[in-house]
Amino acid sequence: MSDKITTNYPFTGEILQEYALSTDEIIIASLEKAEEVFMNWKKTSLNHRTELLQKLAEILDQNKEEYANLITHEMGKPYTESIAEIEKCIWLIDFYEKNADEFLADELIDTEAQESFISYDPLGCILAIMPWNYPFWQVMRFAVPTLTAGNTAILKHANNVTGCGLAIQNLFEAAGYPIGCFQTLLVSHDQIETIIENDIIKAVSLTGSEKAGRAVAEIAGKNLKKTVLELGGNNACIILEDANLDKYIETIVKARMQNSGQSCIAAKRFIVVEEIYDEFLEKFKEEVSNIKFGAPLDPKTEIGTLARVDLAEEVQRQVDESIQKGAKVFVGNKRDKAFFEPTILVDVQPGMPAFDEEVFGPVAAIIKAKDRHHAFKLASESSFGLGTMLFTEDIDEARKQIDSIEDGAFFINEMVKSDPRLPFGGTKASGYGRELSREGILEFVNKKTVYIK
């Protein structure tokens, strides 16, 4: 195992930086620092913590071009999308600054007691294991509510966005958070188990693959520690015969192709009722053909390379195996190193990787359904449960389907997306627990019953 982390610019392959892994001594010292800081941090007033949020947002806004440039270089996201990611982080911070006081206030319960209530107390140091596809947003949506609730945090970021991980630690410290309140550790997967087992770590939040989630949940469970898991997705996008394609086709294509298709909540399976299938396919193809590929730093670029060459190779495997099982290429299927051309597969059926697996790249699997009933049946044929999209003009009928969708989200005439005001998370192999909203800030607190007689 190498004792270094090397980051690369996916568009050219050039080496950006080399980092030394944290030694076991550094890890222990960081954990002890986190615990030491927690003892004081949990006693700070909520008013003080929300004042720091305001400063955090100011620094992000003042330096968003620098942060966006870092995101784009480390994982290849088009620069315009990187700017949008930083702006979304500012929105998140603003949301918790305004609402944390209400979310964390003692909840009075009427009983026979003189006074009884629920007190929301921080747990301690929380470990976050985060992915590369939204290197600031994924971390901030964990860190902002978790720290505001009075916890401290340790981040293990994806290796290919190590610079982002370190920049986020610097960001919190520049905003006035105590040194040790938020720390980024450069550690290997082998070191993660030891960190989770340490008594200082009280809980774990992981956003990543199903495989990673199962491994971390097993270690945490063995040590009786809570986990929040936001794992993969294979979202269905159901197109009914009355869908307004002229109005929504841009949204439908964006639901698959944003972030070069590297999103857990992207639409991956487009289940189209037969009656509208041909019209949908032509409009979808036309919209996809207009997507502009280019250098990620070019403001006109709408789709870039994938974050690493091996990720593009995995997408190629999934496409090739689907073709071997009967799928056909309608558009695309060209790869050059980390770039994978926006691709449309038709005749996709259950049993193919394009239907069963999460394809983390710009590949749209189009599935023909006989009718509405068949469309919903196909949508539910997934081990994942992150989100479903439905496009229809019959909203009353769509409402009747809410209970039949098992996923963590059901969006009608809109792409599934995360919003600070709404809880975010999945079911089945997409994980459990919720981020964002009031639900997110209460994931890592002790909901303590207080009874005074």
Q: How far apart (Å, rounded) are the C-alpha atoms in residues 33 and 125?
A: 10
Of 40, 44, 43, give the one whose Cα is nearest residue 52.
44
Alpha-carbon span 171 to 342, nearest angstrom:
35
Q: Is 230 an annotated catalytic residue?
A: yes
Work out whether the CA dihedral 224, 228, 231, 236 comes out positive or negative. positive
Beta-bridged to residue 239, according to DSSP, are: 272, 391
Residues 74 and 157: their CA atoms lie apart, in Å, by 12
How far apart CA 361 and CA 374 sit, in angstroms, is 27
Alpha helices for 258-371 (secondary structure H): 274-289, 309-324, 353-356
| Measured torsion, CA atoms of residues 271, 273, 274, 279, in degrees rounded to the nearest 10 | -80
Determine the Cα–Cα distance for residues 176 and 77; give it in Å rounded to an integer.
29
Catalytic residue among 74, 210, 230, 314: 230
- Nearest residue to 182 (alpha-carbon basis) of 67, 64, 84, 56: 56
In whole angstroms, how far apart are CA 249 and each of 8, 302, 354, 364? 35, 16, 21, 13
**Sheet harboring 115-122: ordered strands across?**
107-108, 115-122, 445-452
Contacts of 347 (CB under 8 A, 6+ apart): 326, 327, 328, 368
- Paired residues of 108 in beta bridges: 117
Nearest 5°: phi and psi at 367? Answer: -125, 130
Measured between alpha carbons, how far is 375 from 242 in angstroms, rounded to an integer? 13
**DSSP states of 368-429:** EESSHHHHHHHHH--SEES-EEEE-S-HHHHHTTGGG--SS-EEESS-----TTS-B--EET
Instruction: Tell me the residue type at 9.
Output: Y
How far is Cα 163 from Cα 9, in angstroms, rounded to an integer?
12
**Catalytic (active-site) positions:** 230
